[in-house]
Amino acid sequence: MVFIGTIQAHFQEWFAAQQAGFSKVMILTDAHVHAHCLTLFLEKSGLPPETPVLQIPAGEAHKTLQTAGWVWEKMLEARLDKKALLINLGGGVVSDLGGFCAALWKRGMRVVNVPTTLLAMVDAAIGGKTGVDMHYVKNIIGTFHNPLAVFVDPDFLQTLPLHEKRSGFGEMIKHAFLASDTLLIKAMHEGAGSFLPLDAANLANSISVKTDVIAVDPLETKGIRHLLNFGHTFGHAFESCLMESGRPVSHGEAVVAGMLCEAFVGYIKGHIPLEQVMRLHAICTSNNLYPQLPLQKDDADPLWRLMQQDKKNAHSEVMVCYPDVSFSYEKGEKPPNFFPPLHVSVDRALMQAALDFYFECYRPGFSGQVLNA
């Protein structure tokens, strides 16, 4: 269950009703959130100041089995049993790693997510996907473990730095592109080059797209939940390649670049109209909302090697998934809140063409003419 509003309004009541069932409570956070958000959370939640806290280093580079091992050591020292509650307070790294540790601890302990970044609020903390990275391959080791609840408090966003806004808003753009209700994407297009207000209403609209997809395919067994990976085959490769080479970018920035590449693939395959590709381009690049990633032409080979390790691949083929935005429902049929997914394979040549298109997107005066060539 996702609660959107202040921690005082939702967490205190929820915890009071559940508290008797928890043997112990422990908070997992990172160094950055510990410094800026922990005191505020404790005040808002009503939890005692002496609540045990585990602090991990901040950043994707620490989302590893080594860090997970340290967390399990601390859980062992604290004698946490299956009835204990782990509160993941932080961004996507904390919810991913904390959920993973909870899922494997004594074959599953209970967990609650309190996201403090926009990315975690609209994406990472919701849906039960957990995992760690290995050899710069994103989330290659992981499992599903749903939190008992997710508490989304927009107050945590008031001091969010620009790069964190970009990271989370990238996932909001993705949700808007997936939504069959065009109001969200229309609002983004009309305000191209700027962020939507990060209020409860806009957060709820974005989150609802993800929760509606998950409700149909909670464990990704039907291929529908792959829709939420739009932009992620290319995006994860961008993120991993740039982190490995000392040019790190945020997850959302990488996903935005990935969406541009995968929308190009959809256009080439005849599934995504030029108008939609250019709408996405305008939303992402106007006013330099998302600057060009520090990619180089010679990154193509390492990017391809990373894409060959993607979790969605099947039968040794690199796969991408994007929405079938041209799909029409039968008259009288109630459509879901999202377009159906299309799964397509990408070979090395098409990957290169998509990468070339991405570079073209940032050429002064670009108007999509390369797509008509």
Least confident of 153-167, 187-201, 353-367: 187-201
Tokens of 113: 């997510």
Chain centroid, CA 25 distance in Å = 26
Least confident of 149-163, 283-297, 326-340: 326-340
Catalytic residue among 113, 205, 229, 337: 229
Per-residue pLDDT tens for 312-334? 888 889 999 999 987 766 655 55
| Per-residue pLDDT band at 335 (split at 50, 70, 90) | low
**348 classed as catalytic:** no
For residues 169 and 118, the answer to whether their CB atoms sit within 8 Å is yes
Distances, alpha carbon 190 to alpha carbons 183, 280, 293, in Å: 10, 12, 24
Phi and psi based region of residue 236 (left: phi greater than 0; alpha: psi -120 to 50; beta: remaining): alpha
Cα angle, residue 9 at apex, residues 7 and 10 outer, rounded to 5°: 70
The SS3 assignment for 280 reads helix
pLDDT of 369 over the 80 cut: no
Residues of the chain by 3-state class (helix, strand, coil), percent to 5: 50, 15, 30
Alpha helices in 46-182 (DSSP H): 65-77, 92-104, 118-119, 162-178
Can you list the pairs that 68-76 forms with residues at least 24 positions away whose Cβ atoms lie under 8 Å? Answer: 68/97, 68/100, 68/101, 68/132, 71/28, 71/97, 71/98, 71/101, 72/101, 72/104, 72/105, 75/26, 75/101, 75/105
pLDDT of 367 over the 80 cut: no
pLDDT of 337 over the 90 cut: no
Distances, alpha carbon 366 to alpha carbons 222, 266, 289, 358, in Å: 38, 19, 16, 11
Strand 53-56 versus strand 25-30 pairing type: parallel
Which residues have a Cβ under 8 Å from the Cβ of 120 and sit 6 or more positions away? 90, 91, 92, 94, 95, 113, 168
Q: Compute the average pLDDT of residues 172-177.
A: 93
pLDDT of 193 over the 90 cut: no
User: Alpha-carbon distance 132 to 267, whole Å?
Assistant: 33
**166 classed as catalytic:** no
Which residues have a Cβ under 8 Å from the Cβ of 229 and sit 6 or more positions away? 312, 321
pLDDT computed for residue 189 by the predictor: 80
pLDDT of 235 over the 70 cut: yes
pLDDT computed for residue 160 by the predictor: 86
Catalytic residue among 220, 269, 343, 360: 220
| Per-residue pLDDT band at 25 (split at 50, 70, 90) | very high
**220 classed as catalytic:** yes
> Does residue 184 or residue 306 have the better pLDDT?
306
pLDDT computed for residue 326 by the predictor: 77
pLDDT of 227 over the 80 cut: yes
Which domains are seen in the chain, by residue range?
A: 2-157 (3.40.50.1970), 170-193+200-372 (1.20.1090.10)
pLDDT of 32 over the 60 cut: yes
Catalytic residue among 226, 232, 279, 281: 232
Catalytic residue among 10, 166, 251, 312: 251
- The overall longest dimension of the chain from CA atoms, in Å, is 66
pLDDT > 90 in the chain, percent: 77
For residues 284 and 278, the answer to whether their CB atoms sit within 8 Å is no
**232 classed as catalytic:** yes
- Which of 86-125 are b and which e, b meaning 16 or more Cβ less than 10 Å from the residue's Cβ? bbbbbbbbbbbbbbbbbbebeeebbbbbbbbbbbbbbbbb
Catalytic residue among 164, 171, 239, 253: 171
Per-residue pLDDT tens for 65-99? 999 999 999 999 999 999 999 999 999 999 999 99
Strand 137-144 versus strand 149-152 pairing type: unpaired
User: Alpha-carbon distance 288 to 323, whole Å?
Assistant: 25
**236 classed as catalytic:** yes
**163 classed as catalytic:** no
pLDDT computed for residue 159 by the predictor: 80
**251 classed as catalytic:** yes
**175 classed as catalytic:** no
pLDDT computed for residue 370 by the predictor: 61
pLDDT of 183 over the 80 cut: no
Chain centroid, CA 352 distance in Å = 25
**164 classed as catalytic:** no
**225 classed as catalytic:** yes
Nearest to 182 by CA among 340, 338, 328, 332: 338
Catalytic residue among 63, 236, 279, 312: 236
What is the rounded average pLDDT for all residues in the chain?
Answer: 91
